[in-house]
Amino acid sequence: MNKSELIAQIAKETNLTQKRVGEIVDALLETIIEVVKEEGSLTFTNFGKFEKRLRKERKGVNPKTGDLILIPPKEVFIFKPSKNIFKAE
């Protein structure tokens, strides 16, 4: 499923227009990103946790030349699902 299919499904279930649902989904995603950037994490109980982490500097290999390179540290955005998300119903 992609974003437009998700929007169509939500619109069908809520009797809202796809345009309105699209605006809501976009606002939700933008808010999640802003909160994680500013606060470091956002948790939805029984769904999961969005988190910003710092990936440490590490060694790597240039695939073209085979030379060893140093990969710099960088921030990454991760999602860790709740243990309950795949629980049998």
pLDDT at 17 over 60: yes
Q: Is residue 75 part of a domain?
A: yes
> Domain with 15 in it: what CATH number?
4.10.520.10
Cα–Cα distance measured from residue 26 to residue 31, given in angstroms and rounded to the nearest whole number: 9
Domain assignment of residue 21, given as a range: 3-81
**Predicted pLDDT at 88:** 57
| Tally of domains in the chain | 1
| Each residue's pLDDT tens digit, 33-43 | 999 999 999 99
Distance CA 11, CA 49 (A): 25
Residue 40 counted as domain residue: yes
Is 74 among the domain residues? yes
Question: What mean pLDDT do residues 4-15 have?
Answer: 96
**Separate counts of helices (H) and strands (E) for the chain:** 2, 5
**Domain contains 89:** no
Q: Across all residues in the chain, what is the average pLDDT? A: 94
* pLDDT tier at 89, thresholds 50, 70, 90: low
- Within a domain: residue 88? no
- Angle (deg, nearest 10), helices 18-39 and 3-14: 120
pLDDT value at position 47?
Answer: 92
